[in-house]
A and B are shown apart, each in its own frame.
Chain A
Amino acid sequence: MPLSRRAFLKSSGLAMFGIGAAPAWLSRTVYAAYDRGNRRRKVLIAIFQRGAVDGLNVVVPFGDKSYFALRPTLAIPAPDGTLQTAQDLDGFFGLHASLAPLLPVFRDGHLAIVEAVGSPDPTRSHFDAQDFMESGTPGRKGTPDGWLNRALLPPRSPVRAVAIGPRLPRSLRGRNTAIALEKLDDFQVRDAHMASPFEAMYDSSADALLHGTAQETFEAVKLIQSVDKQPYSPRNGARYPPGQFGEALQQIARLIRADVGLEVAFADIGGWDTHVNQDRQLTNRLNEFGQGLTAFYRDMGDRMADVLVVTMSEFGRTAHENGNRGTDHGHANVMFAIGGDVRGGKIYGQWPGLAPEQLNEGRDLALTTDFRDVLAEAVSEHLGNRNIAAVFPGYSSPKYPGIIA
């Protein structure tokens, strides 16, 4: 039975400080100690690329001849060693040049790529497809909570699940405590005299919806403020790109480094819905995406041994380009897994091919790996939650691709 935080404080002889009055460094130490009392805490970070990224131009199947026929203006040329072409990975696939910073991570064996992966549900609605991916139950709208929330093991730190953004994403909603925040230093009642009356009125409120959220909020405020007061500079020369995504990853990095008990985190990055003139837009988005992930990886350094980053997007885009130098809503896509325990440097999943008869509904990359196989492996083999049937209800025997060592 895990100790509650209060019980731990008491048994540590620290109860004299009282919870509210406990200095910030102290509660942090308590969580860190608690972590050490068990095993090293693993962290799983889910990145959602909202808007359906064009996987075929992110990891380019230059070895498949049909690719060039389908995309007369959008195809990225086979590698010739320059940045105008794909960056070779294995002689068949290559990365978009904007992701070149991730090449060393791939070669070091810490980036695994899963191809032709996605949701088996055929919807091409962003809204539905995101909902299905985040709930972890394709085709079922009634699922009340998100996969990442269900992936959490019994309660520990009030900041064990954090989403960077204005609102809690579907993935993290559910009965386990999870918080959304945009910036660490905004996460408090600014007028110190008002903090405790606000806390008192919400703490005892009969309004179930507001009360529940507020209770978690005030617990978390104390811990997060303890993090914010420490100066932070990224290590190992890591440079986060300007913009929301880099900012989000940096805040996650701070939380991990501060040992406040983070177990799962969520961040999203939008702008992938490239119906028109996609080249420039995709290049810009991938620059930010690749630089962000690389900076995070560098910044974490050795700590990356405990951290796994998984990326996903609601569906892929049409295999053929449309008439506006863009692509429309498609089906299967690509996922990345980055981490110390990743068996990287390799492309996973069976390639279904892009010949006309190989396409899904005659238009999209077909699906050969269910996204739940990847996420289930991450939850079970990385986070250590083996109760996959509860995390992905109705999907009890996933086939792990083998990305985690």
Chain B
Amino acid sequence: MCVVLSAAAGFGARKPAPDAPFRAKLDRNSHALHAVERLTFGPRPGDVEAVRRLGVKKWVDLQLHPERIPENPELARRLAPLDSLRMSTLELQQHYPTRQYARAVMNGRAEMPDDPGARRAIENMIARFKAKQDGTKSDAQVTDLREIVAGDALRTLRTGTREDKRAILVSLQPDQVQQVAEALPPGMRAGLIAIAPTSVRRELLAVNSPERVIADDLAEARVYRAIYSNRQLEEELTDFWFNHFNVFLDKGADRYLVSEYERDAIRPYVLGRFRDLLEATAKSPAMLFYLDNWQSMGAHSDAAQRARRDRGLNENYGRELLELHTLGVDGGYTQRDVTEVARCFTGWTIKGPVEGGGFFYNDRWHDKGAKTVLAVAIPAGGGEEDGERVLDILAKSPATAHHICLELAQKFVADNPPERLVARMAQSFLKTDGDLRQVLKTMLDSPEFWSHGADRAKVKTPFEMVISAVRASGAQVDDAHGLVNEIAKLGEPLYRKLEPTGYSSISAEWVSSDALLDRMNFAAALATNRIADVHVDTAQFNGKAADLIAHALLDREASTQTRAAIEEADPFLVPGLVLGSPDFQRK
């Protein structure tokens, strides 16, 4: 048995990190590249040189203060059409109405909004309900396609090439787009969704599955930000904290709650205080819905005593709060603590959809009895503050500090970071009352971060791999839709990690046979312009020697093995080979 275990040892095991590599200093000349690779979604041409000129320390400090970095106007331009990002939950329900919401308006339980776009969306859905009720085909309500689109254009939309179809869609006037979207037969509409430019695609989707517009906006915005934002560390941190406090977009109401969640509960706090971030997530409708706390009812609550039906205590949030969000699975809590925590959060719920779906504390659902959480007594008779008290206890716990700092060090330093680094970060966490900027500063000032142990120690996640390839090749992205699909194919569909664990940042988790093949295939497709609406200027590589192309894409010399392979290859294939090489998978 011992033999077998030792032969297998090292496979995914968490054993103490060997110390020596983390004591060996990284060459000063490599600092700029190391910093850019680790704290951004990968260098674009010229990035590393710019950091060197500015000074690495100064650049790192700026990244820790994103509000001081002017944002890239390219980014604003790309985010502009994605209007769902800027809407409240109520506005989302009006502009991209659910059936329930449209019904509520139809039955007078919700008001018809004033906004013309929202009004039209709801009226359309109501018209379809009515048509169904009357037994007429809903198509009868809609303008005939032939009245809006000329005969030959219509033929092209049916049987033309991808490019021709697209040209027709692009040529439509803004007021025509919606009419056409509604008039198209469903099969044809579905076919055009895949090839339509952003603005048209959103209209096509809005007809039958408005919630998909919201989902697409979210994922595309995440991709645009990762590619174009100048506040790169903030983006990496958003990715980190979203995964830490993961919610799953496709769980029912969360389709309408995640936009607000990322915007208002995650982003504002990624360099703020952990306690604030924790409370923002605890009170977010997205989390309350995802982990079921919104319907958890205290056994001795007013409502449970009187109501015909006791909805009962739900422990799901309580458990994940302790295991994943704060203390960590080895954080020294018991099943009893889980139940007690769940009791403290009874009554933390959400308003109905028509009332905007916001956070709401329902005292009548709250368990008023005395509780004990991690040996701290919480007296009887409390209300909303019981839950806040729990958050206080958890945010101040050394176990939380250690758990959070270990995860941060795993993401930014190495899969198995030295314990003394984690301990120093945790000290900083406890001393500063969970100031996440200070914790990161401790990490970024540490010799371990600038050591051989950290150098190239991480395999990129699929998201990082795709974005870094786009950045390295200077690709022009007219529409992020194709890239969103590629990231999903590589195993990391954005906003769609079902488990509360979120996506792992551990290298070995992302290295499997088909994952590697997918990476190679993506690299090849990108470099030869086979990804829709993403354009790499291949002229930049013309006539260049293979090793120079490799250097341009990797910002360093390729490994001997990679060089050997690309030097023998057809020059046309070299950029794709470099982006798919083992060298490019690391950061």
Contact = CB atoms under 8 A, between A and B. Distances in A.
Interface of A: 122, 124-128, 141-145, 150, 166-168, 173-175, 179-182, 186-191, 193-194, 197-198, 200-202, 204-207, 209-211, 213-214, 216-217, 220-221, 270, 275-276, 322-324, 328-329, 361, 389-390, 393
Interface residues of B, number: 70
A30 to B, nearest CB: 21
Contacts of A207: 559, 582, 585-586
Nearest to A158: B513
Nearest to A200: B565
Contacts of A361: 335
Contacts of A168: 512-513
A187 B14 contact: no
B319 interface: yes
Given A190-B524, A390-B1, A209 B566 contact: no
Contacts of B459: 209-210
B292 A275 contact: yes
B509 interface: yes
Given A190-B521, A193-B570, A126 B335 contact: no
B498 A187 contact: no
A201 B564 contact: yes
A142 B14 contact: yes
Contacts of A209: 459, 507-508, 511
B11 A173 contact: yes
A202 B513 contact: no
Interface string B280-314: 00000000000010010100000010000111111
B5 A217 contact: no
A336 B582 CA distance: 42
A38 to B, nearest CB: 23
A126 B323 CA distance: 11
Interface stretch (B185-193, B260-268, B573-581): B573-581
Nearest to B569: A197
Contacts of B570: 193
B1 A144 contact: no
B564 to A, nearest CB: 7
B377 interface: no
A180 B512 contact: yes
A239 B338 CA distance: 44
A134 to B, nearest CB: 11
B573 A187 contact: no
Interface in B549-587: 559, 561-562, 564-566, 568-570, 573, 576-577, 580-582, 585-586
A393 to B, nearest CB: 5
B230 to A, nearest CB: 31
27 contacts: A127-B323, A143-B13, A144-B5, A144-B11, A150-B4, A150-B8, A174-B11, A179-B512, A179-B513, A180-B512, A189-B517, A191-B576, A197-B573, A198-B581, A202-B516, A205-B582, A206-B561, A210-B582, A214-B516, A216-B513, A217-B517, A220-B513, A322-B312, A323-B297, A324-B311, A361-B335, A393-B4
Given A322-B314, A323-B297, A328-B315, A189 B521 contact: yes
Given A166-B514, A189-B517, A323-B309, A197 B565 contact: yes
Interface of B: 1, 4-5, 7-15, 292, 295, 297, 304, 309-316, 319, 323-324, 329, 335, 338, 459, 491, 498-501, 507-518, 520-521, 524-525, 528, 559, 561-562, 564-566, 568-570, 573, 576-577, 580-582, 585-586
A166 B513 CA distance: 9
A76 B456 CA distance: 56
Contacts of A194: 520, 524, 569, 573, 576-577, 580
Nearest to B459: A209
Contacts of B1: 389-390, 393
A167 B8 contact: no
Contacts of B559: 205-207
Contacts of B304: 323
Contacts of B324: 127
Nearest to A216: B513
Contact of B311 (A214, A323, A393): A323
Contacts of B312: 322-324
A175 B8 contact: yes
B119 to A, nearest CB: 33
Contacts of A186: 514, 517-518
Contacts of B311: 323-324
Nearest to B5: A393
Contacts of B582: 201-202, 205, 207, 210-211, 214
Q: Which among B323, B508, B561 has the greatest number of chain A C-beta atoms within 10 A?
A: B561
A174 B511 contact: no
Among all A-B residue pairs, the 9 with the closest Cβ atoms: A323-B312, A323-B311, A201-B565, A217-B513, A179-B513, A166-B491, A144-B11, A144-B13, A204-B561
A324 B329 contact: no
A168 B82 CA distance: 35
A213 B511 contact: yes
Contacts of B295: 276, 323-324
Q: Which among A126, A166, A175, A198 has the greatest number of chain B C-beta atoms within 10 A?
A: A198
Given A210-B516, A210-B582, 12 more contacts: A125-B323, A142-B13, A166-B515, A180-B513, A191-B573, A194-B520, A197-B573, A204-B561, A205-B561, A209-B508, A275-B316, A323-B304
A323 B520 contact: no
A275 B573 contact: no
B11 A191 contact: no
A173 to B, nearest CB: 6
B499 A127 contact: yes
A191 B524 contact: yes
B514 A390 contact: no
Nearest to A170: B12
Contacts of B513: 168, 179-181, 187, 213, 216-217, 220
Nearest to B311: A323
A174 B508 CA distance: 11
B395 to A, nearest CB: 21
A180 B514 contact: yes
Nearest to A189: B520
Contacts of B514: 166, 179-182, 186-187, 217
Contact of B329 (A125, A217, A276): A125
A86 B4 CA distance: 46
B517 to A, nearest CB: 6
Given A175-B8, A194-B573, A200-B565, A213 B292 contact: no
Contact of A390 (B4, B565, B586): B4
A22 to B, nearest CB: 20
Contacts of A276: 292, 295
A127 B511 CA distance: 20
Nearest to A323: B312
A324 B10 CA distance: 44
A245 to B, nearest CB: 15
A141 B12 CA distance: 11
B583 to A, nearest CB: 8
Nearest to A127: B501
B40 to A, nearest CB: 22
B465 to A, nearest CB: 12
Contacts of A329: 315, 319
B8 A126 contact: no
B511 A210 contact: yes
A288 B317 CA distance: 28
A202 B570 CA distance: 18
Nearest to B2: A393
Contacts of A181: 513-514
Contact of A145 (B8, B512, B524): B8
A133 B325 CA distance: 23
B314 A328 contact: yes
A176 B561 CA distance: 25
B475 to A, nearest CB: 18
B511 A323 contact: no
